[in-house]
Every structure is written in C-alpha cells, then in structure tokens.
Amino acid sequence: MSDAPRPPYAYVCEDHSLLLPFYRRHLAPLWFAPVPRWLPANFITLASSACMWVVFLLSLRAADFAPVPLAATFLILTQIYLGYDHVDGMQAKATGTSSALGEYLDHSLDVYHGALVVFAACALIGSMPPLVMLFVVWCTLQAFAATMVEEKERGALYFGKFGAVEAMILFNAFYLSWMIPAVRAWWTSPLVFGLPAYTLLVVGGSCGCLGATVDCLRRIGRLPPSFAAYLVTSLLLTGALARLPAPSWCAITALLLHSGDYGGRVIGSHLLRRPPVWPDFLAPGLALLAPFGPAWLPFVLVAWLALKTAWGMVTVVLPLRADWRWRNPD
C-alpha cells in the first residue's frame, strides 16, 4: 500500500478533562523533573507501558498472591504508568522531538492499558464470572477504539470531562480500598438481589465506557461502517471467549489483541492518511468453533491474533521509522 505524502506532524487535541489540567500542572512535573533531556520520549512511553504489562502478568496469577501486597503493587505500578504516560509528551515537547511515531506508540499502547487496569481489578476480586469480566473489559476497549476512530474521522483527539485519567484514578482508589480488610469484605458482600457490592463497579464502569463510546459517535455524527464491524465482531468474540475450553489467559489475551490490533491500525491510518481499516473477522469464528474443535484451537486463535497484531504494527512503524531516535540531540 502506498501512503500519501504526510504534512508536517502536529498533535491536535481538544481537552475538556476535569482532572487532566490539574495533573499536568501539579503532579506530572514531579515525575518529569528527574528525566534527563537526552532520553528520547519514545523510551519513556515504552517503559511506562512495561509497568502495565507487569500488572497484566501479575493479574494472570492473582490467586498466588496475598491481596494486600498485590493491590499495593497494582497501585504503585499504575501510578508510575500514569505519571510517565504524561511525561513522554512533556519530554517530546521540551526537546522538540514530537513525532507521528511517538503518537502512534503512545496511543496504540493506551488501547491496552485502560483494559489492563480494569482486568487487574477483576483479578483482585477473583470471584467474578468470566462473562462479566470479559464484558466489562470489552466495554473499556470500545471506549478506547471509539476515541481512536473519532480522531481519524475528525482529525483531533478529544478528551471529555470524564476520561481515561479520571477512570484510572477511580480504579487506583479501588486498589487502595482492597488493601483494607473491612472494605475488601464489603466489596464481595451481597447487596440487593444477592448481587455482590462489586456489581456497582461493574455497572458503573461499563455504563461509563459505553457512554463515552456513544459520545464519540455523536461527535462524529454517524456510525462508521468499520467501527460498526468492530463492535459486532468484538462482541461476538467476547461471548465466544466466555465459553472457551482453555486457560483463562487465552480468553483475555485474545480479546486484548483483537481490539489492540484494530485500534492500532486505526491510529496508523490516521497518521499515514490511509483509508479506514477493518477489524479481524477470523477471530470470532475461531472462538465460536473452539468448543467443538481440537484442544489446541484456542492457542491457534491467540497465535493468529498475535501475528496479526505484530504485522499491523510493522505496517505502521516502518513508514514512520525515520522518527525513531536513540538519543536526543545535546
């Protein structure tokens, strides 16, 4: 695919966040101060992302850890991520090294990070039914994918009053509450109709993410066909994964990769002025067939999505490779 010539890169953002301006003015500078100016912003992006992938790995083995140290670890790692997720942009601006590659790395990884924060909360709870856990993660992924589609459609990234930063802080508050035995017991105690108190977290988080998705579509003014296809395929995949006869890591990894692949290619199509991209259509079919096929079919599903995601990254990173730097100029 030949790419149209790109105009000079410019980061366009409409920021209406309630907490983000305060965070950038008063908290992010504390993280920014010790960062040497020779360090490229992309390295900061990748390092902050690594914190969230450690959270993911720990979440997969949550049952092996005591609740208090695990929740404390989640809290520390997500705070480091939240800090340096803003520092990378500050570093790029301060050193004059803002680039399309930097935006791609930052935003394509953020598609995963929001879902990983939610998955970590579900892992702490432990007793959440698989379908409920996958659904709330799916809702989170919809909001991030819709944000990326809106940026492509409208040419600007939009932060609403209640967005990723506000949600991250709320989930950090949940991690903190999980460290208090009495509050932890309350989260799993029954409320109305015998539903556990953590249902409030599930319903509130899901409605917030779906509301953010609807807001994105409202600002776009239509339902883009490619995003409609993503909604359908990802929802079918979510339902099929809840019945997947395989380790739980297969299900969550497949869901993350399916959405991460789509969201990453959407960002790439925006930055490279490419036509709209479509989600993977094979994954839902493989997941639906898995209960009737051989035991190794779920692993084929994950391998396919991993290869598809990697190839999608290559098709974006290669045209932007001139933006990469190993060290900022002195």
**Confidence (pLDDT) at 18:** 82
Q: Can you give the pTM of this predicted structure?
A: 0.93
Show me where the domains of the chain are located.
13-323
Question: What's the average pLDDT block by block, 10 residues per block, for the chain (330 residues)?
Answer: 65 83 86 95 96 97 95 96 92 93 95 95 93 96 96 90 83 95 95 91 93 95 97 97 90 97 97 95 95 92 97 96 91
pLDDT value of residue 140: 95
Tell me what pLDDT residue 280 has. 97
Q: Spell out the SS3 assignment of the chain.
A: CCCCCCCCCCCCEEECCCCHHHHHHHHHHHHHCCCCCCCCHHHHHHHHHHHHHHHHHHHHCHHHCCHHHHHHHHHHHHHHHHHHHHHHHHHHHHHCCCCHHHHHHHHHHHHHHHHHHHHHHHHHHCCCCHHHHHHHHHHHHHHHHHHHHHHHHHCCEEECCCCHHHHHHHHHHHHHHHCCHHHHHHHHCECHHHCECCHHHHHHHHHHHHHHHHHHHHHHCCCCHHHHHHHHHHHHHHHHHCCCCCCHHHHHHHHHHHHHHHHHHHHHHHHCCCCCCCCCCHHHHHHHHHHHCCCCHHHHHHHHHHHHHHHHHHHHHHHHHHHCCCCCCC
